[in-house]
A and B are shown apart, each in its own frame.
Chain A
């Protein structure tokens, strides 16, 4: 198996600037924020909210590629979203699940309590059974790069289950501050306004 950091490094090397990347809370947000400082990132998507947010965004912007960097504990809290994704079938959406099979949280030095994927649950099979035909499992960086590149160059929805080490034994050097949710909202919405020509934030006269 491979570490989360190794896969995120692979992704950071190939992700096109205009692909919208959404990250679940914890180390997906923390590591990605250090690796790839860009306006097209939406961080801090809490338990059960990462893939659903990515679905809503992908439906609103059908011509824009959207990648959710989700995790096993986060996804299984709202697992029904996989059926919704299959039925809505956004061609521009890729869900990547960093599946470490435990509730690691952030800044932990030993694996947390097991998620269902530590037992009998296979998220690739679940996604496929929900109706997402393009579902795969990767266990190393080369296969991950191949799958994510294929996903970004073909019609989705795509689901990539990335089996990663239980513990984040490596990670990026912390050199910058990951924006907080409000700051990130203005940054991300402003970027989409600028690049898509849509109005999101309004007049700005709301709180003064």
Chain B
């Protein structure tokens, strides 16, 4: 991932007012995690798994933070139970940002993620947007977070490799 594309993701989070993030680093988004870990405006917490990160973000929202979860596509599957719970039982807004493996632009066919990511989000009733152009990264992250906070429910942004590479 080129650093300028990672910066667009971090810029989008800042434009959205995100001041707290949690996640588990993955190779595809590593530059984003590095930037977040060094950023002074966003408190990034590195969790041991994505379900834990979901709980951390959920708790931070109750403290007045605007949280984002930065999850690998595989990590979404790990976080599923807790994400479904905070969406369908608690109704708490958390922005979810995912580098979308298995979609257009991916150099490898990772059908596992193509077959699980969008159906999983739909099953959890979590609205999402797919971003395919880097020019749309900042605006879409901002728009999705505004909707999450207005609706009091998680909203996801899927950034595919067309947008990231």
A56 within 8 A of B: yes
A96 within 8 A of B: no
Are B47 and A60 in contact, CB atoms less than 8 angstroms apart? no
**Binary B-proximity of A33-50 (CB < 8 A = 1, otherwise 0):** 000000000101110111
A80 to chain B, nearest CB (A): 3
Interface of B with A (CB < 8 Å)?
20, 22, 43, 45-49, 51-65, 67, 81-82, 85, 89-92, 149-152
A176 within 8 A of B: no
Closest to B55 in A: A52
Are B64 and A200 in contact, CB atoms less than 8 angstroms apart? yes
Contact A182 B45, CB 8 Å, known A59-B60, A78-B51, A84-B56 = no
Q: Which 3 A-B pairs have the closest CB atoms?
A: A60-B63, A80-B48, A56-B59
A11 within 8 A of B: no
Contact A84 B47, CB 8 Å, known A78-B52, A202-B149 = yes
Among candidates B47, B58, B92, residue contacting A81 with C-beta atoms closer than 8 Å: B47
Report how far A60 CA is from B55 CA in the complex, Å. 13
Are B67 and A56 in contact, CB atoms less than 8 angstroms apart? yes
Are A49 and B85 in contact, CB atoms less than 8 angstroms apart? yes
Are B63 and A48 in contact, CB atoms less than 8 angstroms apart? no
**Binary B-proximity of A41-69 (CB < 8 A = 1, otherwise 0):** 01011101111111111111100100000
A26 within 8 A of B: no
Are A54 and B62 in contact, CB atoms less than 8 angstroms apart? no
Report how far A60 CA is from B46 CA in the complex, Å. 15
Are B49 and A80 in contact, CB atoms less than 8 angstroms apart? yes
Contact A192 B150, CB 8 Å, known A46-B85, A48-B51, A84-B48 = no
Supply 8 further A-B pairs (C-beta < 8 A) apart from A84-B52, A206-B151: A49-B58, A54-B59, A56-B45, A59-B20, A61-B63, A182-B90, A196-B63, A200-B61
Are B65 and A207 in contact, CB atoms less than 8 angstroms apart? no
Specify which chain A residues have a CB less than 8 angstroms from the CB of B81 in the assembled complex. 46
A-B contact pairs, 25 of them (CB 8 A): A22-B59, A46-B81, A52-B54, A52-B55, A52-B59, A53-B55, A53-B56, A53-B59, A53-B62, A56-B62, A56-B65, A57-B60, A58-B63, A59-B45, A60-B60, A60-B64, A61-B63, A78-B48, A81-B47, A84-B45, A182-B90, A189-B62, A196-B64, A200-B61, A201-B152
Specify which chain A residues have a CB less than 8 angstroms from the CB of B55 in the assembled complex. 45, 48-53, 55-56, 78, 81
Closest to B61 in A: A200
Closest to B57 in A: A56
Closest to A57 in B: B59
Report how far A60 CA is from B61 CA in the complex, Å. 8
Among candidates B20, B52, B90, residue contacting A52 with C-beta atoms closer than 8 Å: B52
A188 within 8 A of B: yes
B66 to chain A, nearest CB (A): 10
Report how far A23 CA is from B134 CA in the complex, Å. 42
* CB contact list, A158-208 vs B, under 8 A: 181-182, 185, 188-189, 192-193, 196, 198-203, 205-207
Contact A198 B89, CB 8 Å, known A49-B82, A52-B59, A81-B52 = no
